[in-house]
A and B are shown apart, each in its own frame.
Chain A
Amino acid sequence: MAKERTSKKKESQARQIWKRFRKNKIAMAALIVLGIIILAACSADLFWDYQKDACNIHVPQRLQKPSAEHWLGTDELGRDMLCRIVYGARASLTVGLAATTFALIIGGILGSISGYYGGKLDNVIMRCTDVLLAIPGLLLAIAIMSAFKPNVFYISLALGISYISKFTRIVRSAVLTVREQEYIEAAKAIGAKDHVIILKHLLMNCMAPIFVQYALAIGSRILSVSTLSYIGMGIQSPTPDWGNMLSGARAYIRGNSYLVLGPGIALLLTISAFNLIGDGLRDAMDPRLKK
């Protein structure tokens, strides 16, 4: 059988994963698309003036169809769609990254404590995640947002909190599978401190599944932030965000489909890029599952 061969290749695991990832054309395409989106979001100021082009209202130019001057047309308040879509990437990406990272840190700490120590502490933490998972994440975020001002910081916080329990679960199960392995026993036997074991040995060795989840979670958070903005509980106009752009376009979609196509496709591309990267990472880490 063509089972896993005990080959002499001594490459580090990360390099092997990267090598396999690079062969995955779809995942690489997603990485490139994401790179372009990030680059555009960073260099937007080279092409536009944020206040003047993205926020200020130009009523005479409202609802213009795509043209040479406005490639994607103008919105219901006369602002250039392309400009707002590019600036909109900033909000989405910032919140997506911040919320996911926050959830990962808190969930990572709780999950590794829970998985490593087990027992009563584990029980308590797991019951808490049960409760949090019973509330739909978006509704929890909405509830939290109702207590705060809708700005990037609080939105990230709300969307992060609503994802903590998922990361706690993922990190815990990753830690559980690694915990029983011999090198952890060995580290304990030579008297390593608990936090050293958790940080150095446990977490380093369960990076793989966590990375995959990290990529997927960013996609999911961006989706949530757009939904929050769409229902008016997220990023507020005039700050451009794909969600609130779609919300603003609602009354005008008849005959102006370009208003929903632009921001919608931007969302679709960004979120699927993160999802495809996550999928690609998972395939690269576990080549057995590859089609």
Chain B
Amino acid sequence: MEKDTRPMLEIKDLVVEYRTEEETVQAVNDINLTIRKGKSLGLVGETGAGKTTTALTILNLLPETTGRIVDGTIALDGDPIITKDSSGKSVAAKTDVEMQKIRGNKVAMIFQDPMTALNPIFTVGDQIAEAVQLHQKCTPKEAEKRAEEMLELVGIPGSRKTDYPHQFSGGMKQRVVIAMALACNPALLIADEPTTALDVTVQAQVLEMIKELKEKFGTSVLMITHDLGIIAEMCDEVSVMYAGSIVEHGTLEDIFDRTRHPYTRGLFNSLPNIKDRTARLKPIRGLMPDPSNLPKGCAFADRCDYATDRCREGKPTKRMLSDTHFVDCCLYEDGKDEDRL
């Protein structure tokens, strides 16, 4: 690891809740994430684990009426986004106008569903050009030209800039979304399940493209997905998220070759094994606990084959098993790095 590079994104002790009249949902529970410049981090987990919430929090775009940052800090390239005030309360460090200059410029985001991510009544060229004009001093003509270049870059003929989103297929729309996200050369790209809604062949193309662009421009990437294959393909480090917490974190090798957390193991066991097709899939039994009513102990205990009374009584202690490998599980409370699964 190149320890000399400064972190592009640093999230510390982040806690986010959704509050409605009926209930309070704890979407993110005390997570820490660091992405170094030019590196990419994979955030893996089931639907509802709090991955998208984390991403929206970085951009300060949580739903205004319900979303609330309870605790934690976020810094972008050393510049605080969420900070603590004198009484220790987490507050936004920047006004919305200041955030507008960061969104789409320094940090860009690709959303999960390309079918609904583009405004149906504006041409794709206009939508890309809008991003350019918001952040760069240029004439509308120049912005349009830049939009054309971006389309070419993602493999769409520039002449199609006057077409509307409904004239594109899903994969093409995602390319447009990516073109829009990259139009201002962001330092950090947040990709929220960028390929989940796409066909397999298109998935590969889109991933390949993100990878190429990342190498070309040295962009840091936060890749949110539930697909371990994508992680293996794209990422340098991996965080496994479960019920709003990060249960295991490490380098790609740590997670893939030295899997320690029962949940991570469960994710691997849920994948079909091509080499041994007679092996049965071992899906993780049960469902994620209700995030408005999390258990007292380990949130995974009810679904875990290794759970003991200890797991149900209290939260596990967080442990670093090596310099890079972190795990949040009662099995490793002695801090020894050995396979106990």
Instruction: Show the binding face of A for B, using Cβ within 8 Å.
Output: 1-3, 5-7
Contacts and interface: CB of A to CB of B under 8 A. Distances in A.
A42 to B, nearest CB: 36
Q: Which 6 A-B pairs have the closest CB atoms?
A: A2-B18, A2-B25, A1-B52, A3-B48, A6-B287, A5-B290
A19 B20 CA distance: 17
Nearest to A20: B22
A263 to B, nearest CB: 38
A3 B18 CA distance: 11
B66 A2 contact: yes
Interface of B: 18, 20, 25, 27, 47-48, 50, 52-53, 66, 287, 290-292
A2 B290 CA distance: 10
B47 A3 contact: yes
Contacts, number: 19
A51 to B, nearest CB: 52
Contacts of B18: 2
Contacts of A1: 27, 48, 50, 52-53
Nearest to B24: A2
Q: Is the interface of B mostly helix, strand, loop or mixed?
A: loop
- Pick the most buried of B18, B20, B48, B53: most chain A CB atoms within 10 A of its CB: B48
Given A2-B18, A2-B20, A2-B27, 9 more contacts: A1-B52, A2-B25, A2-B291, A3-B47, A3-B48, A5-B48, A5-B292, A6-B287, A7-B290
A26 to B, nearest CB: 14
- Pick the most buried of A2, A3, A6: most chain B CB atoms within 10 A of its CB: A2
B312 to A, nearest CB: 18
Nearest to A7: B290
Contacts of A7: 290
- Pick the most buried of A3, A5, A6, A7: most chain B CB atoms within 10 A of its CB: A5
Nearest to B51: A1
B294 to A, nearest CB: 12
16 contacts: A1-B48, A1-B52, A2-B18, A2-B20, A2-B25, A2-B27, A2-B66, A2-B291, A3-B47, A3-B48, A5-B48, A5-B290, A5-B291, A5-B292, A6-B287, A7-B290
Contacts of B290: 5, 7
A5 B291 CA distance: 9
Contacts of A2: 18, 20, 25, 27, 66, 291
Contacts of B48: 1, 3, 5
Contacts of B66: 2
B273 to A, nearest CB: 27
Contacts of A3: 47-48
Contacts of B20: 2
A1 B66 CA distance: 11
A256 B287 CA distance: 68
Contacts of B47: 3
A291 to B, nearest CB: 9
A21 to B, nearest CB: 14
B74 to A, nearest CB: 18
A154 B86 CA distance: 75
B119 to A, nearest CB: 21
A239 B290 CA distance: 60
Contacts of B25: 2
B43 to A, nearest CB: 14
Nearest to B23: A2
Contacts of A5: 48, 290-292
A3 B52 CA distance: 11
Nearest to A6: B287
A48 B116 CA distance: 62
A7 B27 CA distance: 16
A2 B27 CA distance: 7
A114 to B, nearest CB: 28
Contacts of A6: 287
A260 B318 CA distance: 74
Nearest to B50: A1
A124 B47 CA distance: 45
A1 B287 CA distance: 16
B195 to A, nearest CB: 18
A5 B25 CA distance: 11
Nearest to B18: A2
B161 to A, nearest CB: 33
- Pick the most buried of A1, A5, A6, A7: most chain B CB atoms within 10 A of its CB: A1
B341 to A, nearest CB: 27
A286 to B, nearest CB: 15
A23 to B, nearest CB: 8
Nearest to A3: B48
B24 to A, nearest CB: 10
A2 B49 CA distance: 9
A157 B326 CA distance: 74
A7 B23 CA distance: 14
A7 B20 CA distance: 17
A169 to B, nearest CB: 25
Contacts of B287: 6
A5 B46 CA distance: 13
A213 B53 CA distance: 37
B23 to A, nearest CB: 9
A58 B321 CA distance: 98
Nearest to A287: B22
A38 B20 CA distance: 36
